[in-house]
Structure 1
Amino acid sequence: MPDDSNGSLTDELAGLDFAAVSPEEFARIVKGLSGRELAEVMRGELRARVIGEVFGRMRQQFRPEAAGRLNALIRWKITGSEELVYETLVADGTCAVTEGRSEAEPRTTLVMGDADFLKLVSGNGNPVTMFMMRKLKVAGDVGLASGLTRYFDIPKA
């Protein structure tokens, strides 16, 4: 996605209807942006829209056949200008997503910055590599965290 300045890139992305962007197109957009550009995009109102849309799609991207009998609460903490917390409950072949922190104890918690979150959920980041480079922090069940991507249909850009 060409741009002359960060302002025009942000303006261009702010004008997108993220609900109409396919997962494959989203993956291509993220792949085409540098870490600095991703950080710039993830400022202000656009950040909440993008993250909200990603979590809003998790139920559709969920692969119940891959999850089998998995029963786990996964807490996601996305750091940045402010910490956003979402929880994904995988149980009985379903996936439910809620915004905010519940009182329940998660089986695993994933903590990462905005740009790394976008890379992970768009298939542009390898979770094991991100963990080894300390871009992704995991508390709790590391084995579950390392295999989470197989439970979701994540496009490749």
Structure 2
Amino acid sequence: MPADDANPATMEPREFALLVKNTPTSELRRMMRGEKRTAVLDELFARMPSVFRAERARGLEAVVHWNVGDRPDGGTDVYELVISGGRCAISARPDREPGLTLTLGAVDFLQLVTGNAHALALVMRGKMRTKGDLALTAKFPSLFDIPRAGRPAAGSA
């Protein structure tokens, strides 16, 4: 399936992860610069609370801003993730001061949230910038059960 035809809202997370893994970067970039960008980002962020591992976030209170670049107008989409009381909530209207800000391009974001890239590798290659709480930066990836292309997510069939 071409990336332009992909709709993560109608695809299983593992299926979408496999699509991202097998799609050339140029095609993913085209999709994320097209009319589906907002719908794809909204859906992927909306799924984050369902893969949040509350048992790993005991006592954690955090606000994380995701800055996803490469918008067609040259801008950035900002989403806010709030971890509080063992829960994770997402908002496309950030209104809190972040303790951690993650900034990356749209294709790198797709690869990261589908398990096709590792946060540390993205940081080391300069493809993801972090600002804020270093301890949270290190812990953050372990707070989510990312549905990778190579294995089913916990709780999935």
TM-score of the aligned structures, taking structure 2 as reference length:
0.87
Gaps of 5+ in 2: 150-157
**How far did 1:153 drift?**
1.2
- Give the CA RMSD over aligned residues: 1.3
* Contact 1:116–1:135 (8 Å) recurs in 2: yes
1:144 counterpart = 2:104? no
Partner of 2:36, secondary structure, is helix
Confirm or deny: 8 A CA contact 1:110 1:137 kept in the other structure.
yes
Judging by fraction of residues, say which structure has more helix. Answer: 1
How many aligned positions are there?
Answer: 146
C-alpha separation between the residues in 2 aligned to 1:133 and 1:83? Answer: 20
Q: Check if 1:86 corresponds to 2:76.
A: no
After the TM superposition, which of the residue ranges 141-150 and 38-47 deviates more from structure 2?
141-150
Aligned partners of 2:133, 2:34: CA distance in 1, in Å?
32
How far, CA to CA, are the matches of 1:28 and 1:71 in structure 2? Answer: 32
Q: What is the CA-CA distance between 1:147 and the residue it aligns to? A: 2.2
Q: CA deviation at 1:44?
A: 2.4
**1:125 aligns to what?**
117
Detail structure 1 runs of 4+ shifted over 2 Å in the superposition.
9-13
| Aligned residue type for 2:131 | A
Measure the CA separation in 1 of the matches of 2:97 and 2:61. 13
What is the TM-score normalised by the length of structure 1? 0.87
Shift of 1:42: 0.7
Equivalent of 2:43 in 47, 53, 65: 53
Q: Which residue of structure 1 aligns with residue 100 of structure 2?
A: 108
Between the aligned partners of 2:20 and 2:4, the Cα distance in structure 1 is 15
